[in-house]
Chains A and B, each alone.
Chain A
Amino acid sequence: MQQHHIDIEIRPDGEVKVHIEGAKGKQCIKYQELFKQIVGEVKEEQLTHEYYEPDPRVMVDIENQQHIHH
């Protein structure tokens, strides 16, 4: 079982900071795409070492809350 933690900070001027924990590589990109749809354009991103770790063999479909094991 995998858990992703998402911390969202909506600042007083409406700017949004999102911190994704537990997701790697392409999973992070999926979350980023989701928040772009909801909020607006990405101004800045900070990738950490975990981002570059190999993906677990699970694909996440955030739109449908499904995951596919390979």
Chain B
Amino acid sequence: MSVIFFLAPAIITGWPAITAAAAAAATTMGLNMAKEAQEIASELNQKADRKTKVDLEVGNSEVLSENVGSEQIVLRKGAMTLRVYRDERNQLRCCVEGENHTKAELEEFGHQVIDKITQTYIYNRVVTELKARGLEIQTEEVTADQSVHIHVRNTLE
């Protein structure tokens, strides 16, 4: 045994990588990804007074983009709608709304989705970067607690 270390995930990337991670996370969690995000976001704003709403920050995040404002992804689960968007400081945020849900329920759902997007983004990045450096992935496994285990062997002649 040599060394074990723990790393805090950071999402510092462009919008396409976030969209890819959100789409994969939505599939895993059985969420519907809205096709017309702009229209749904506008509809949400109009009905905002009737719904409970929470807004969550995604820690350690920065969206690298030259576009201003329009980037967002809308996911739905039952009566809950979750909007992932970039704020004016280029940080990733998540707004969850839903009728007949408490703030605590919406927060829990929001954190679940943020965690899954983060895990998926980090997985995509780890696999892509290791392959780019010629490191050989031997095995991959998802355990009961939903952790992803990757084993890599690096042979030096």
Q: Give the interface of A toward B (CB within 8 A).
A: 1-24, 28, 31-32, 34-51, 58, 60, 62-63, 65, 67
Inter-subunit contact A7/B151 (CB<8 Å): yes
Inter-subunit contact B118/A14 (CB<8 Å): yes
Which residues in B have their C-beta under 8 angstroms from that of A34? 129, 133
Check: B42 CB closer than 8 A to any chain A CB.
no
Check: B104 CB closer than 8 A to any chain A CB.
no
Inter-subunit contact B152/A39 (CB<8 Å): no
Please give 11 more A-B residue pairs, beta carbons under 8 A apart, in addition to A1-B156, A14-B121: A4-B153, A4-B154, A10-B122, A10-B147, A10-B150, A16-B7, A31-B3, A32-B3, A42-B5, A62-B135, A67-B157
Q: Tell me whether A9 and B148 are in contact in the complex, defined as CB-CB below 8 angstroms, given that A41-B7, A43-B6, A46-B4 are known contacts.
A: yes
Q: How far is the CA of A22 from the CA of B152 in the complex (A)?
A: 12
Check: B126 CB closer than 8 A to any chain A CB.
yes
Inter-subunit contact B9/A48 (CB<8 Å): no
Inter-subunit contact B154/A14 (CB<8 Å): no
Q: How far is the CA of A20 from the CA of B154 in the complex (A)?
A: 10
Check: B134 CB closer than 8 A to any chain A CB.
yes
Inter-subunit contact A6/B151 (CB<8 Å): yes
Residue from B4, B5, B10, B154 having most chain A Cβ neighbours under 10 A: B5
Inter-subunit contact B118/A67 (CB<8 Å): no
Contact flags B126-157 to A (C-beta < 8 A → 1, else 0): 10011001110000000001111111111111
Check: B119 CB closer than 8 A to any chain A CB.
yes
